[in-house]
Structure 1
């Protein structure tokens, strides 16, 4: 089941309202409310429904940038590592890079297998168990009919896998960005957190007690075992599928590996 409606203890709002040039969050990805022409002219993607107080041509503009970065209002960049000139719109809409400035790695095959098993395969756009339109392995449609997907329907498992890898880039970036470089994670630990962020959204992950505890230097395996299972609700109700997914993510997180994925290798 796809993302951004999961809560640990309370239900969080799905939409973040914002004024023109202000911050917004589109399906868990940070951005700024910009005119669609400004956004597209700077290489960004406009997502409807996340700047509801503004004119119709003002939408939440998102864009990946630099080496593993995401365009966002500078004051919301937790690493403090920003780069100007890579994002459309106002001067404070900057590329927020991981603290190390290095590109986050792709998740390993164990993580891909976990996500595929959790999400299931859907060849054509269809509502998921809570009514959100999805396709492939948990791709949340951004436009009517999922027209943003660069593959024809019905998807094959191969094209759905390619779409999943593309979708995961934003979540790899936000996990690398939100966790300080002093926290060392192997590829299984990193992958488990990317799977979790893919399910709950970057905004929820970044503001979580889990990330706070990791950044405070607590033992990663303990933090994951205690915090991940809390994210088992959708619409205020515990879902068995989420209970299972969180247990699988904890198991992956605890699987030993000598491959270091965070901080991102340069």
Structure 2
């Protein structure tokens, strides 16, 4: 009796990590989203061990995904954890390396930003230089290249700036994108800002599994306003981004890991 009591006590104290699959046929994916590749399938009643949980594509209002001991992810909607919240530790925050934009994307951004070798004040009143680089102060002391900029240094500064937007698009987007679709998003976020992109319905629809080019064609034209009025320069840029996204390529971009 004593040994049985100890065994019961141990089972109560042990962390619960094995849970039943509740869906009839549940896909376990390479990442926490419906656009990731299916790695294996679980049948209803399968006992799975959850190693960690993370946020991902919302499935019927459930945005938590469970990583199983098989190394793939299942929507928490289909796992009987007894809670709508987190029941175990968060998955590690390994950062995917953002893909570099292709030349078509660089050319598009450079064309619409235009090149200025000296510091100037943009339409919003910010000190700017090169291909749309927003400076930290009136003298652009944050720029590591000699001013006035040579065009070559202007392109280097543009690459430095684009890297930030490549990282934010990679971090916020769970859809599968080719390099042209990715480039359209990089150009859009470069123009509108990462914060605006992250909270947009455009990214929401992409992460919800909608067709990429359909979403871009419908959502990008909404981003043509400044000061409450339509700017033709923004109309042209959005059209160019839609055209870039629709150009066929076999070069993949996302998911990056």
Q: Show the counterpart of 2:245.
A: 253
Distance 1:98-1:114 versus aligned 2 partners, 3 A rule: farther
Q: Which residue in 2 is equivalent to 1:20?
A: none
Equivalent position of 1:123 in the other structure: 117
Q: Distance in 2 between matches of 1:198 and 1:216?
A: 23
Is there any run of 5+ residues in structure 2 with no aligned partner, and where?
1-53, 57-63, 65-90
Q: Report how far residue 98 of structure 1 moved.
A: 11
SS at match of 2:96: coil
Spell out, residue by residue over 1:18-37, the C-alpha distance to the aligned partner (whole angstroms, 9 max, x if none).
xxxxxxxxxxxxxxxxxxxx
> What's 2:102 paired with?
108
Distance 2:222 2:93 in 1: 28
Tell me, yes or no, if the aligned pair for 1:98 and 1:173 is still in contact at 8 Å. Answer: no
TM-score normalised over the length of structure 1: 0.61
Task: Give the Å deviation of 1:130.
Answer: 3.5
**Corresponding residue for residue 137 of structure 2:** 143
Partner of 2:153: 159
Specify the alignment match of 1:49 in structure 2: none
Structure 1 167/158 Cα, relative in aligned 2: closer, same or farther at 3 Å?
A: same
Q: How much does 1:166 deviate?
A: 0.5
1:258/1:209 Cα in 2 relative to 1: closer, same or farther (>3 Å)?
Answer: same
Query: What SS does structure 2 have at the residue aligned with 1:124?
Result: strand
- Checking the alignment, whether the CA contact within 8 Å between 1:125 and 1:133 is kept in structure 2 is yes
What is the TM-score with the length of structure 2 in the denominator? 0.63
Matched, 1:174 2:168: yes
Secondary structure in structure 1 of the residue aligned to 2:139: helix
Which residue is 1:202 aligned to? 194
Contact preservation (8 Å) 1:124, 1:136: yes
1:199 and 1:105 map into 2 onto residues whose CA distance is: 19
Kept in 1: contact 2:127–2:137 (CA 8 A): no
Report the secondary structure of 1:218's partner residue.
coil
Query: How far apart are 1:127 and its partner, in Å?
Result: 1.5
Measured in 1, the distance between the counterparts of 2:115 and 2:246 equals 26
Aligned equivalents of 2:92 and 2:142: distance in 1?
27
**Residue 237 and residue 208 in structure 1: after superposition, are their counterparts in 2 closer, same or farther (change >3 A)?**
same
Aligned with 1:150: secondary structure?
coil
Cα distance between partner residues in 2 of 1:254 and 1:196: 15
> Are the structure 2 counterparts of residues 148 and 121 from structure 1 closer, same or farther at C-alpha, using a change threshold of 3 Å?
same
Shift of 1:257: 0.7
Q: Is the 2:115–2:130 Cα contact (8 Å) retained in structure 1?
A: yes
Distance 1:241 1:159 in 2: 25
Check whether the contact 2:220–2:242 (CA below 8 A) recurs between aligned residues: yes
Call closer, same or farther: CA 1:226–1:204 in 2, change over 3 Å.
same
Count of residues in correspondence between the two structures? 172
Cα pair 1:123 1:155 within 8 Å, conserved: yes
Runs of 4+ in 1 over 6 A off after TM superposition: 77-80, 97-100
